[in-house]
């Protein structure tokens, strides 16, 4: 598991990309690849964004920005 400061940095970066790209839909695998994360770190970052309701998971398994 990455340190809390690194997690916060990754979350902010992911958030920024979703804000800059309306309609962006990414799978967990794509998030891992784009931000060079392992499975656990990706899950932690995505969970943080889900908990704050910034992202939501679609039926097809992709993550999209909550409007």
Enter the tokens of residue 30: 């794509």
Read off the pTM: 0.91
* pLDDT at site 19: 97
4-65 is classed CATH 3.40.50.2000: no
Quick one: 31 exposed, middle or buried, by C-beta within 10 A (0-12, 13-18, 19+)?
A: buried
Contacts of 61 by beta carbon, 8 Å cutoff, 6+ apart? 27, 28
Quick one: the chain helix, strand, coil %, rounded to 5? 55, 10, 35
Query: Could you give the CA distance from residue 2 to residue 18 in angstroms, rounded to a whole number?
Result: 22
**Model confidence pLDDT, tens digit, residues 13-56:** 999 999 999 999 999 999 999 999 999 999 999 999 999 999 99
Pairing of strands 25-26, 55-57: unpaired
């Amino acid at each position: 598991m990455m340190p809390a400061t690194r997690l916060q940095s990754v979350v902010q970066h992911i958030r920024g990309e979703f804000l800059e790209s309306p309609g962006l839909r990414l799978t967990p695998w794509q998030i891992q690849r784009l931000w060079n994360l392992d499975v656990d770190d990706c899950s932690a970052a995505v969970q943080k964004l889900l908990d704050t309701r910034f992202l939501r998971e679609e039926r097809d398994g992709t993550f999209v920005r909550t409007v």
